[in-house]
Amino acid sequence: MKTWRKLCSAVLVLLIFGLILFTGGCRGSENPSAPGSTGDLIKIYTTFYPLYDFTKKIVGDRAMVENLQPVGVEPHDYEPSPRQVASIYTGKLFIFLGEPMDTWAKKIEGQLQEKGVVTLEAGQGLIENNDPHIWLDPLLARELARRIYEAVVAIDGDNKGYYEKNFHELEQKFASLDRQYREALAGVTGKDIVTSHAAFGYLARRYGLNQIPISGLSPQQEPSAQQMVELITLCRSKGIKYIFFETLASPKLAETLAREAGAGTLVLNPIGGLTREEMEAGKDYFSIMAENLAALKKALE
Ligand SMILES: [Zn+2]
C-alpha cells in the first residue's frame, strides 16, 4: 500500500515537471529570432521598486518591465533566485542601482553583456559614502530617471518620441515634488528627524533636515542596547515629538524608542519596495513621497 502511494506521488511529480518543462519550452521558442522580446514588446528587468516605477512610467505600454524583487520584500537583503537570474538573460535591458544596494547585480553584469543584454548601473557616480538611498532625493531621482530614459531610447529608438514625451512629464513631476518639499519644509520649526534606518540622508541634506537614524544604512544594522539608551536621551533632550517607522521593516525598535522617549510614531516610507496593500491601493513613488511630506510636516511643525 505504502509503495503504491509512493509510486503514485512520484508519477504525479514527474507529470508536473514535464508540464513545467513543456510550457517553459514553448514560451522559450515563441520568438527565437529576437531575444529580449515578448511578441513585439521589449523586455526590461529592474532589481527593485523605484527603478521599476520610473522605468514603467517612461516606457508605458511600449515595453514590458519586470521587477525582480517580490512585492513586500525589503530590498537591502534581497537576492534573486537562480531561476530569476536566468530570466534576466531573456531581457533586452537590465537596470540596477549599484553597490551597496543590489551587489549581486554587479557580479553578473559582465556575463549579461557578453550574452547581448544591455545593462545600466543607474546610480553610478551618484551614490556617496556607501549610502544607496539616492531615490529619496527628488532631484537625484530625476537623474536616475534620465539615465533610464537614455538607456531605453538606446535599445528602442523607434519609440523615441513616445518615451521622450513620458520622460518630460516625469521630469515635471520630480520638479514639482522638489518644489513642494522645499516650500513645505522651509516653514517648519523642527529639523531633526528620527528614522527607522538611515535611508533619508540625501533627502535630509537636500531640504536642510538632520537625520537621526535608529538602525544603520540597512534595517539589519540594529543599534546596541547602549546606543538605544543614548538615542532615548537624545530624543528627550531634543523634545522629539514623533519617531518614524517603515512599512517593510519591523517597527519594534521605533516603538520602543517612542515609548521610552514619550513620543508618537508615524510612517516615513523609504520606498525600497511596496507592500501588497500599497500596491493594491495604486500607490507609487510620487503618492508615497507626498505621504512622506505630510508626515514630515506633522512631526516638525
Ligand atoms: Zn534602506
- The alpha carbon of 229 and the centre of ligand 1 are apart by a number of angstroms equal to 23
Residue owning grid cell 510612517: 267
- The alpha carbon of 250 and the centre of ligand 1 are apart by a number of angstroms equal to 13
Q: How far is residue 168's CA from residue 179's CA, in Å, rounded to a whole number?
A: 17
Give domain limits for the chain.
33-177, 188-300
Q: How far is residue 240's CA from residue 297's CA, in Å, rounded to a whole number?
A: 13
What was the pLDDT predicted at 9? 56
What was the pLDDT predicted at 16? 46
CA torsion through residues 256, 261, 265, 266, sign: negative
Other CB atoms within 10 Å distance of the CB of residue 285: 25
Contact call for residues 52 and 67 (beta carbons, < 8 A) = yes
Residue owning grid cell 557616480: 125
CATH class of 188-300: alpha beta
- The alpha carbon of 217 and the centre of ligand 1 are apart by a number of angstroms equal to 6
31: left (phi over 0), alpha (psi -120 to 50) or beta: beta
pLDDT tens, N- to C-terminus, the chain (301 residues): 445 555 545 544 444 444 444 444 334 333 444 455 556 799 999 999 999 999 999 999 999 999 999 999 999 989 999 999 999 999 999 999 999 999 999 999 999 999 999 999 999 999 999 999 999 999 999 999 999 999 999 999 999 999 999 999 999 999 999 999 999 999 899 999 999 999 999 999 999 999 999 999 999 999 999 999 999 999 999 999 999 999 999 999 999 999 999 999 999 999 999 999 999 999 999 999 999 999 999 999 9
Q: How far is residue 175's CA from residue 191's CA, in Å, rounded to a whole number?
A: 23
- The alpha carbon of 133 and the centre of ligand 1 are apart by a number of angstroms equal to 6
Using alpha carbons only, how large is the chain's radius of gyration in Å?
A: 22
What was the pLDDT predicted at 40? 78
Q: How far is residue 213's CA from residue 223's CA, in Å, rounded to a whole number?
A: 10
- The alpha carbon of 273 and the centre of ligand 1 are apart by a number of angstroms equal to 10
Contact call for residues 75 and 297 (beta carbons, < 8 A) = no
What was the pLDDT predicted at 202? 98
Contact call for residues 88 and 108 (beta carbons, < 8 A) = yes
> Could you give the count of Cα atoms lying within 13 Å of 243 in the half-sphere of its Cβ?
25
For 33-177, the fitting CATH number among 3.40.50.300, 3.30.565.10, 3.40.50.1980, 3.30.590.10 is 3.40.50.1980
What was the pLDDT predicted at 10? 53
Residue 48 DSSP label: S
Question: Which among 226, 62, 50, 46 has a CA at the least distance from the CA of 138?
Answer: 50
Topology agreement, domain 33-177 and domain 188-300 = yes
What was the pLDDT predicted at 77? 82
- The alpha carbon of 198 and the centre of ligand 1 are apart by a number of angstroms equal to 7
